[in-house]
Amino acid sequence: MSFSEPEPPVLSSSLPSSTFAFAADAQEFYDPHDAQLVSDSELLLLDDGNNRPDCKQPYADNCFTRAVKYELDFESYTATIVWQFAFQVEL
């Protein structure tokens, strides 16, 4: 049995840019992954927040991970947070 080499991943720079804006600047995500559409207009993702402004290692007030669900409005092309859970580490 022989195995072939896997295909190289598609680089994100080759993907089209988003046409959606956030309803407010504070609703942006900063290191998203595992995004899934849970309905025709809801997007659920994990946001590690590593690139959040003022996030310095090891921890700071603006460093946190969260699960976040957005409502996608396909008429105004805005994404609005409808639910989130953030666990902040207290040292």
E runs forming strands in 1-91: 21-22, 32-37, 42-47, 65-73, 78-87
- Please tell me what DSSP assigns to residue 25: G
Please give the model's pTM, rounded to 2 decimal places: 0.71
Contact present, 28 and 46 (Cβ < 8 Å): no
pLDDT tens-digit map of 48-88: 887 888 787 666 667 788 999 999 999 999 999 999 998 76
Average pLDDT, the chain: 79
Residues in contact with 34: Cβ distance below 8 Å, sequence separation at least 6, in sequence order: 45, 46
